[in-house]
Structure formats: C-alpha cells, structure tokens
C-alpha cells in the first residue's frame, strides 16, 4: 500500500503549495486561470473518452447511473457534507465542493489508477503509482491554486478509493479485465468533460449525481462480457 500512501501525500503537499499560490493571485489572473483549468479538464476528459469501444454500455451506464444519482440526490448530500466540513474546520472557500469533486475524478478515475493499484495489490512494484504521484503532485498545485482547500481534502477519498482497490486486487485481480478498465476510463472521461463545462461556466451540470455511472459500467461489462 506504499504507492497509495505516496500518492496521497503527493496530493496533500501539492494542494498545500497550491493554496499558498492561490492567496497571491489577483482576480483577473484567477479568472484566466480558471479558464485554463477548465480547458485542461476538458482535454483530459476527451483523451479518456476517445478510446471508447462499448458505446452502448457506456451510454446506458451514464443514463442509469445519472437517474440513480438524481433519485438519491447525491449533489444535495455532497453540498450538505461540504457545508458541514466548511463550518467544522472554518473553511471560507466558495468552490470547496467543486474543487473536491474535480480533484477526486482527475486523480482517481483513469487507467493508471486502476492498473497501478492492481499491480501493487498483486505483489508487484508500485512504480506506476509513483509515476502517477508525480503527475498528481503538479496537478494538485494547479487545482488547489484555482479551487482552494477542497483539493487538499480530496486526498482523503483518494486514499480510501485506492486503498480499497489495492485490497480488492489482492484477492480478485482477475475481476479487473481490460474491458472494465477501459469502461471506467471512458465514463470517467465523459464526467471530466462535464466538469470542464462547469468550470468554464458554460452550463451547470450535476456531475455528482452522475457518479453512480462508474459503478453501473463495471456491473454491465461484468455481466455482458
């Protein structure tokens, strides 16, 4: 689990450095910076979605997962949790939830995350997670300087998510087939495109309510493959 610990620390330290930069940026610089982050998020999402093969499964997963998320109203729950954390720790960031969700998806939804945790969970080298840690470190600096402390808090769900995958891989590595990894990457990429649209202020999409799609796509590929 050393790879996940290093990855978590990289995000935590990178996020803290980003907070220092955030305090020194004037408003006009912050505005153009958000636009750059939005375009960066769109580009990452597009690169993850472009390799899509099982289009019907991906579309069905997004539709059903979004309906489930809307039914459970995950967005409202996230906002309530965000308000609790902001009040509990006296956080003044207005974009806390957006920063946390954006960072979590960028850091946790992708083939490198899944392959790295499987590799380490099955007794292999954590080198892939070390490489990911370096990338996440610099991304965390950029994100935290734009979104604030929510990016720092994303290190907690990142640790829980990757640690869970590592433990699961230790006992069920065969479950994570190439098709499942690709499906997760495709759906995650589409959600990142949605986040990029939110960041750019084009339209407000309820991305949090779409997160169950990540579980649904795994179930569909497992059942229909």
> Model confidence at 112, in pLDDT bands (50, 70, 90)?
confident
14: its two tokens: 């990178």
The most confident of 84-93, 103-112, 185-194, by mean pLDDT: 185-194
pLDDT above 90: residue 5:
yes
213: its two tokens: 């799609």
What does the alpha-carbon distance between residue 12 and residue 46 come to, in Å, rounded to a whole number?
26
Domain boundaries, the chain: 2-224
> Model confidence at 90, in pLDDT bands (50, 70, 90)?
low
> Model confidence at 12, in pLDDT bands (50, 70, 90)?
very high
- Candidate from 53-67, 83-97, 145-159, 200-214 with smallest mean pLDDT: 83-97
The conformation of residue 23, written as its DSSP 8-state character, comes to T
89: its two tokens: 């720790």
In the three-class reduction of DSSP (H, G, I as helix; E, B as strand; rest coil), residue 223 is classed as helix
pLDDT of residue 190: 93
pLDDT of residue 145: 86
Percent of the chain at pLDDT > 90 equals 35
pLDDT above 90: residue 15:
yes
Residues 23-37 have pLDDT tens digits of 766 777 778 878 888
pLDDT of residue 93: 62
pLDDT above 90: residue 63:
yes
End-to-end CA distance of the chain: 30
pLDDT of residue 91: 65
What does the alpha-carbon distance between residue 68 and residue 74 come to, in Å, rounded to a whole number?
9
What does the alpha-carbon distance between residue 15 and residue 91 come to, in Å, rounded to a whole number?
15
What does the alpha-carbon distance between residue 208 and residue 101 come to, in Å, rounded to a whole number?
8
């Amino acid at each position: 689990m050393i790879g996940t610990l290093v990855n978590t620390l990289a995000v935590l330290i990178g996020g803290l450095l980003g907070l220092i930069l955030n305090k020194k940026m004037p408003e006009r610089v912050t505005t153009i910076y958000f636009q750059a982050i939005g375009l960066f998020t769109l580009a990452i999402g597009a690169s993850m979605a472009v390799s899509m093969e099982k289009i019907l499964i991906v579309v069905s997963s997004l539709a059903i997962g979004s309906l489930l998320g809307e039914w459970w109203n995950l967005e409202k729950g996230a906002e309530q949790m965000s308000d609790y954390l902001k009040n509990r720790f006296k956080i003044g960031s207005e974009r806390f939830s957006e920063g946390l969700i954006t960072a979590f998806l960028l850091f946790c939804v992708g083939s490198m995350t899944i392959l790295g945790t499987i590799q380490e969970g099955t007794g292999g080298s954590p080198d892939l997670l070390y490489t990911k840690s370096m990338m996440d470190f610099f991304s965390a600096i950029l994100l935290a300087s734009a979104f604030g402390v929510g990016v720092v808090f994303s290190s907690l769900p990142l640790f829980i998510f990757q640690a869970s995958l590592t433990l699961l891989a230790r006992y069920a590595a065969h479950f994570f087939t190439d098709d499942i990894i690709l499906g997760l990457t495709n759906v995650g990429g589409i959600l990142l495109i949605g986040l990029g649209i939110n960041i750019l202020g084009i339209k407000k999409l309820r991305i949090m309510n779409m997160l169950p799609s990540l579980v649904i796509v795994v179930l569909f590929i497992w059942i229909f493959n």
